[in-house]
Amino acid sequence: MNTLTPSAIAALGKVGVLFGGRSAEREVSLMSGNGVLQALKSKGIDAHAFDPAERSLGELEAERFDRVFIALHGRYGEDGSLQGALELLGIPYTGSGVMASSVGMDKITTKIVWLAAGVPTPTYAVIDESIEPERLDATLKNIVADLGLPLIVKPPLEGSTIGITKVTRAEDLKAAVDLAHKYDKLVLAEQFIEGREFSVPLLGTGAQARALPIVEIVAPEGNYDYQNKYFTDDTQYHCPAPLDAATTAAIQADVEKAYRALGCEGWSRIDVLLRESDGRHFLLEVNTSPGMTGHSLVPMAARAEGTSYEDLCVQILQSASLKAGVAGKK
């Protein structure tokens, strides 16, 4: 474990750890944020908890934080809205800026950017809740014909598998779409990729961004849902993933390409599937404010390289910055 010098600690100043929030992922964010807070304090950093669901932006400004660590997940923390407020307040923050955060939060827009950049991602269709009822049945039939079965239906602005359904029968598609529409006006239907599941954390910005060791996820019965992600020990993780060197390099190269195409900064995590039938890989989505819980994958990959949880938190905190060209706090 690296020891920070007194001057390095002083350079970080007063730090706010933002966690909790108002999204559907609040419970996970509370676990992430408490872990980060304790890690930073263990390093002697002047770190303080701040929950945007309980305190206002005025209070955030009044705290006079020198920088903040964003441990919020989902809406109002990972979607660019908070990032914009921090830019206006002149408070340097961890992770991606306004544009990359908002684009990365939207799985549909992410796919559009990735496809334009030549990044492999499953084929998809979009269902708008405003579609006329008399046209909906025909639309769903066309989606099944185009994407095949099974397929995945999900709300594009949620994370942590919230609102997701694996549809194996055409007659179940409408119920899956209705569930996803409870969260978002647009719903994403996606080709199902049968194969192995991986996640690849990244650190850095621009040309210096790099993929960490790949994590393979082996969930009970292949169901990596909210419960198996955060609250059970039944899911197995293998890091570095047992892949040959060529496959590892190909996945990491596409993940780094995808990260840069979105303009991500600081850190992120990208989920990947490796199709069993032909060995091709497909990128699913990006998390620009990944989990930092006891089950989370970024700390796991960092440990595989010899970096402790505490040192990882410090490294991410040190990368905090403003992205809109603002010189600093007023």
- Report pLDDT for 327: 47
The pLDDT assigned to 3 comes to 77
210 falls in which pLDDT band (50, 70, 90)?
very high
- Cβ–Cβ < 8 Å for 241, 213: yes
**For residue 161, pLDDT beyond 80:** no
The mean pLDDT of 62-90, rounded to a whole number, is 96
Residue 169 appears among annotated catalytic residues: no
What is this structure's pTM?
0.91
pLDDT at position 205: 95
Please state, as a whole number, how many other Cβ atoms lie within 10 Å of the Cβ of residue 182.
11
Mean pLDDT of 126-137: 92
At residue 322, does pLDDT exceed 50?
yes
Token duo for residue 162:
């919230």
Give catalytic status of residue 269 as yes or no: yes
Q: For strands 186-191 and 165-167, give the pairing.
A: unpaired
In the chain, % helix, strand, coil (3-state, to 5) comes to: 40, 20, 40
Structure tokens at 126: 């979009």
User: Mean per-residue pLDDT for 138-155?
Assistant: 96
Structural domains in the chain, CATH included, are: 6-94 (3.40.50.20), 104-121+194-314 (3.30.470.20), 124-191 (3.30.1490.20)
Where does the pLDDT of residue 329 fall: very low under 50, low under 70, confident under 90, or very high at 90 and above?
very low
- Residues in CB range of 164: below 8 A, 6 or more apart: 152, 153, 154, 155, 180, 225
* pLDDT score of 159 more than 70: no
Report the relative pairing of strands 14-18 and 67-70 from DSSP bridges. parallel
Does 291 qualify as catalytic in the annotation? yes
Query: Has 303 been annotated as catalytic?
Result: no
Q: What is the mean pLDDT of the chain?
A: 93
Active-site annotation holder among 79, 106, 158, 271: 271
Tell me if 53 sits within 8 A of 21, measured CB to CB. Answer: yes
Distance in angstroms (rounded) separating the CA atoms of residues 53 and 267: 24
Which ranges of the chain does DSSP label H, i.e. alpha helix?
6-12, 26-42, 57-62, 81-89, 98-105, 107-117, 133-147, 173-181, 226-230, 245-262, 297-304, 309-318
In the set 93, 230, 259, 309, the catalytic residue is: 230
When pLDDT is cut at 50, 70 and 90, the band that residue 85 belongs to is very high
Per-residue tokens: 21: 């929030």
Quick count: other Cβ atoms within 10 Å of Cβ 129?
A: 14
Choose the catalytic residue: 101, 160, 268, 319: 160
In the predicted model, is pLDDT for residue 246 greater than 90?
yes
pLDDT over 60 (residue 261): yes
Based on the residue annotation, tell me whether 55 is a catalytic residue of this protein.
no
148, 160 contact by CB (below 8 A)? no
Q: Of the residues 289, 291, 296, 309, which is catalytic?
A: 291
Residue 160 binned pLDDT confidence (cut-offs 50, 70, 90): low
